[in-house]
Structure 1
Amino acid sequence: MIEVLAPGVLTLVEDAGRPGFAAVGVGRSGTADPAALRLGNRLVGNEPGAAALEVLLGGLEVHALQTTVVALTGAVGPAWVDEAPVDHGAALRLPAGSRLRLGTAEHGLRTYVAVRGGVAVPAVLGSRSADRLSGLGPPPLAAGDVLPVGTGTRGLPELGTAAPHVGPERDVPPVPPVLPVLPGPRLDWFVPDALDVLTRAVYRVTPSSDRIALRLAGPPLPRTPRGELPSEGLVVGAVQVPPDGQPVVFGPDHPVTGGYPVLAVVRTDGLSAAAQLRPGDPVRFTLAR
């Protein structure tokens, strides 16, 4: 078991999500950064979708009540086991009685702490993920929480170092990450060059962004005057455009339906980069071929 001493700004339990329930109004949820979750689980010898801790901007401190193996992936910042600095992107032995502490993330937004065996909180509809929109799954971690660790593994930990999965550098002028998009289902609700505007412009992440959506500011995407669109199904990565013309990229906790037209959809291989964007970061889009 692992005891939470300090949860940081926001720490959630997340796994690969709960697909298959959209028809009854339940979204998939799950990890915001699928690549970071898979890497962490591979390093500690778990199944790819095992539940891990998703830590927003660092600050997490936990106490190992038994010896285990962990790995840090995603956003990179200083980390220590007791007083010894440790690396990201590698399997780390966490002796019984030791403390793992994460400093403030320097590159990226979300750090993942994978634990050998997976975080074994009770599952809801087949998933241990916390859904911030619906409230399903475990609540955000709080000081004093004790997390059970599972026994399901798929091999030995990988003790070598892996390349860390990180967001943009903070000590140099940021180079906008480029998110690949596919044309959305409602191009006819926009002026003819709206997709060109989206893929030529640089947008900025606004402070109102969260796991539900990445809200952006930049050149508006003009819509044609067609009244109101009936609500229809949404997927993660959908680029929806409300009346103000500012794009909204839906994240893992998005609603299952929406009433604004979808101009484009971020391809699956762009979701991890989107998950590591901070408020103020620039971002661009490119039309996938």
Structure 2
Amino acid sequence: MRSITIIEPGPLATVQDLGRPGYAHLGVPHSGGADRSSLRLANRLVGNPESAAVIETTLGRLRIRAHGTLLIAVTGASAEVRVDDRPVGAHAALTLRSGDELSLDVPTSGCRNYVAVRGGIDIAPVLGSRSTDTLSGLGPEPLRVGTDLPVGRLGAPWPVVTTAPVDTAEQSVVVLYAATGPRHGHLEIPEDLIRGVWVVSPQSNRVGVRLDRPSEADDALVVHRSDVEELASEGIPHGAVQIPPSGRPVIFLADHPVTGGYPVVAVLTPRAIDHAAQLVAGRPVRFRLR
């Protein structure tokens, strides 16, 4: 039986696929990979369906051992990938022989990597998904030292393309494109959201990215209008930009709650959500409304 053993999980490693849609009315978040374009790419490079389960890492330092011959690809954040301590590169399919160890260094840019194996991580699904939901606790627990992950069988053709050129150039300020949200008019000065630069707070995770102004910035926080009544709890979309009373925006990622009571003033584009999922603490960002 082919499998992967976790030797070191790093700060956080979980199993993720494209999530469990359709259960918001039951209070179940969508969950799934935080950077879905990177998850899909990793699966394509090994010939999997895009929805196959992979390993999502946060801030690297993952080490795994192969049992059986495996075709693997690593995508996402810019991080050195090694097999038995030999650099092999990323965004390309590579073969692991039984006993080989694959490791990821701490990323030099971004924070999340995706490790796909041909056949997918073959654990039991919960509500149709193999994803770990860090908010609700659904799905498998975060990966630990010694966790053994079975690998499925796949009869589909081998991938035609096994490498993917990726632009690794890093912007000095990450621009997040968004559409105007349903509660944009609840702000005293809506333009304050897109004025100036925000920085990523260390209190960010798979639920959401918290933002603050740089300590030296003169730009204002975002203020609620005083003449608008408090909102009742309402549905929250993936990529929502919510403004709590503190005036510091929160961008909701994969494990966000399905409802909330603060104004949603913008909603990120799908590509911007993937960019937000790779933000690390201290990274400057700017909003642009479309």
Q: TM-score, normalised by structure 2?
A: 0.93
Q: Work out the CA distance in 1 between the residues paired with 2:29 and 2:81.
A: 33
Confirm or deny: 8 A CA contact 2:47 2:158 kept in the other structure.
Answer: yes
- How many residue pairs match? The answer is 281
C-alpha contact 2:175 2:287 (8 A) present in aligned 1? yes
Contact 1:45 1:153 in 2 (8 A): no
TM-score by length of 1: 0.94
> Is 2:181 aligned against 1:179?
no
Instruction: Answer whether contact 1:43 1:159 (CA < 8 A) is retained.
Output: yes
1:201 lines up with 2:196 in the alignment: yes
Q: Percent identity?
A: 47
Offset at residue 276 of structure 1 (A)? 0.6
Deviation at 1:227, TM superposition (A): 3.7
1:153–1:285 distance in 2 versus 1, CA, 3 Å: farther
- RMSD over equivalenced CA pairs, Å: 1.4
2:38 is equivalent to residue 36 of structure 1: yes
Q: What are the Cα deviations for residues 78-103 of structure 1, in whole angstroms up to 9, with x where unaligned? A: 12111321110100101111111111
Aligned to 1:130: 132
Q: Where do 1:143-182 residues align within 5 Å?
A: 143-152=145-154, 154-158=156-160, 160-164=162-166, 169=170, 175-182=172-179
Instruction: Verify: 1:214 aligned to 2:209, yes or no.
Output: yes
State the shift of 1:165 in Å: 6.3
Structure 2 unaligned segments of length 5 or more: list them. 214-219
Displacement of 1:160? 4.2
What is the aligned partner in structure 2 of residue 27 from structure 1? 29
Contact 1:91/1:158, CA 8 A, preserved across alignment:
no
Distance 1:163 1:11 in 2: 25
SS, match of residue 25 in structure 2 = helix
Indicate the residue corresponding to 2:224 in structure 1: 223
What CA distance in whole angstroms lies between the structure 2 residues aligned with 1:73 and 1:155?
21
Return the offset for 1:118: 0.7
Which structure 1 residue ranges, 5 or more long, are not aligned? none
Distance in structure 1 (CA, Å) of the matches to 2:160 and 2:71: 10
4+ residue stretches of structure 1 with deviation over 3 A? Answer: 157-160
2:155 and 2:72 mapped to 1: Cα distance? 13
